[in-house]
Amino acid sequence: LKIYHKLLTVMMQPQEQQELIEQPMRSLKHPTRGISSFKGKKTPEVLIDTAISSLKNIISTTTTQCSRSSVKVPSEETAFDACNIGMARNEILSQLKLTGDIFFQEEDYGMALAYYTEQLCLQRCIFPTKLIDNAITMNCIGLTLHRAGMRNKAGEMFQSALQIRLALISQKEEESLQRQAKRRRRDRSTFECNGAGDDSESPCADHPIFPTLLCNMGQLLIGMGRPSEALKAYRLSKCLSDKIIQADYKEHYSSIATILHDIGSALHTKFGLLDEALQVLAEAIDLLDSESAEDDLFLAKCVTSLGRVFYDDGNYNDAIDCFEESLRIQRDVWGKDSPRTVSTLYRIGHILDLVGGQEEALKKLHEALQIIRSSSLSSSRQSLDEALSSQSSHGVSMTSVLKAIGTIYHDMGNSNQAMMAFTEAMVAAGIDQEEGLLSLVEDGDQRTALALYETMANVEALWSE
């Protein structure tokens, strides 16, 4: 955080500095977001280079301090030095991971891999018993290898990390047997009366990193064209997640909700298992306990994913309810006129049109259109032509919204309003007058094509009269 504050003090104006100081410290949970959230506002190359340079200096400094420290004489001073050594070691590991995360975000996977690998080597040497930390770092390495296109090596890394869970289970079983033997020797009758001893698995074995690894393995296997194996990985990830929920490890619920969302989305989009996806996504939503805006937005994401499943299942009313709830959360966090709400408004308008609610659909689509226009024209860096030809607002283009509006007006028999919407869509798409309105029609979009043809014919007839 000190690093981030110093960097942002250099890169930002005094007013922005004050805003940073007043912000809640949510970046403690996700420190790399402190850098990524400022991409585009200032020169990202300078920011990233400065960050990496600062992190390297910290790693170098703490390594030097650690090597100079001594614990040969057991005294209060050397005990303090030993504490400093431990802190220095942890600092080195955390900065190695943070630097790797920055390179990963910048898609420099070679450098990210170098820092993650060095972190793993140091962890194994300094803290050989912290197997969970090793699994977390190995997951980072596997994701980096996957992004870099080295899928086989990524799979090997994920599998190696999953072996740690077996080691933890074996370790727990051995400890449990030793305790049982001691109890038998101490009071055999009492032990037999109480039943078997401890659980066969360690709480450490029920850590979210292991279902996360299986979820990442499933994604990897899909990319490798092995869907049946991917489905097994996703379902096993779900089983491990259920174990954590049943064990009532509430501190892991947020992580498990993220995993369940990814599993549910994959079951929906990759395998078409709608009923199973609905169940998993509903479980993810039940686990969430919103304590911050960040949690609220993830809840909105889960509800949106659930709405998409309902939509593909033909359950339009439930889909509308989900998207309306997602829109409510988004507006609470971002504000009513945020461009980030456009895609949700567009979805709601589209579904309302399907169920015959044209008036309500037009209302939602016009809201989306007004937000796009306002956000485009409010930017002083854009000319009017650039604003009018603005293609998208968080995944939904102005052209798409206008075509949907024009099609609904056509279905309602309002040819003039339909022609106005289609003409504005042509301008927004940057289509020349010579190309004509029919250039708006995409392959397979029969409804828009029919609406355009009939609208043009109706308007031509009106002009002739």
19: closest CA among 9, 29, 27? 9
What would the two tokens of residue 424 be? 């504005």
In Å, what is the CA distance from 401 to each residue of 293, 349, 355, 365, 416? Answer: 28, 9, 18, 6, 17
Predicted confidence (pLDDT) at residue 196 exceeds the cutoff of 70: no
60 within a domain of the structure (yes/no):
yes
d(CA 432, CA 449): 18
DSSP secondary-structure letter at 442? Answer: P
Give residue 356's pLDDT: 92
Q: What is the DSSP letter of 441?
A: P
Q: What does the pLDDT read at residue 54? A: 58
The pLDDT assigned to 404 comes to 93
Q: How many residues does the chain have?
A: 465
The answer as to whether 453 is a domain residue is no
Give the residue, 245 or 393, on which the prediction is more confident. 245
pLDDT in tens, 3-43: 555 554 554 444 444 443 344 333 333 333 333 443 333 33
3-class DSSP assignment, residue 396: strand
| 47 has pLDDT over 70 | no
Asked if residue 211 is part of any domain, the answer here is no
Look up residue 361 and give its two tokens: 């659909």
Q: Is 20 within the bounds of a domain?
A: yes
**18 domain-assigned:** yes
Is residue 44 scored above 50 in pLDDT? Answer: no
Distance CA 214, CA 209 (A): 9
Give dist(CA 309, CA 92) in Å, integer.
Answer: 44
Q: Is 394 helix (H, G, I), strand (E, B) or coil?
A: coil
Count Cβ atoms within 10 A of the Cβ of residue 258 and give its class: 0-12 exposed, 13-18 middle, 19 or more buried: buried
What is the CB neighbour count within 10 angstroms for residue 21?
Answer: 10
**Stated pTM of the model:** 0.72
Question: Domain residues for 10?
Answer: 1-70+79-128
Does residue 405 lie within any of the structural domains?
no
CA distance 391 to 339: 13
What domain count does the chain have?
1
Lowest mean pLDDT of 84-98, 249-263, 352-366, 409-423, name the range: 84-98
In a domain, 445, yes or no: no
Mean pLDDT of 346-352: 96
Whole-angstrom distance, CA of residue 122 vs CA of residue 329: 43
CB 423 within 8 A of CB 437: yes
- Within 270-292, where are the H helices? 274-287
> Is position 233 within any domain?
no
Residue 142's nearest CA partner among 130, 160, 129 is: 160
| Residue written as token pair 């727990």 | 172
Which residues contact residue 327 at a Cβ distance below 8 angstroms, ignoring those fewer than 6 apart?
A: 341, 344, 345, 348
Identify the pLDDT of residue 452: 76
Radius of gyration of the chain (CA): 28
How much is the pLDDT for 251? Answer: 85
Res 384 pLDDT > 50 = no
pLDDT tens digits, 152-185: 999 999 999 999 988 888 776 666 666 666 666 6
pLDDT tens-digit map of 54-91: 555 655 555 555 444 443 434 444 444 555 556 667 77
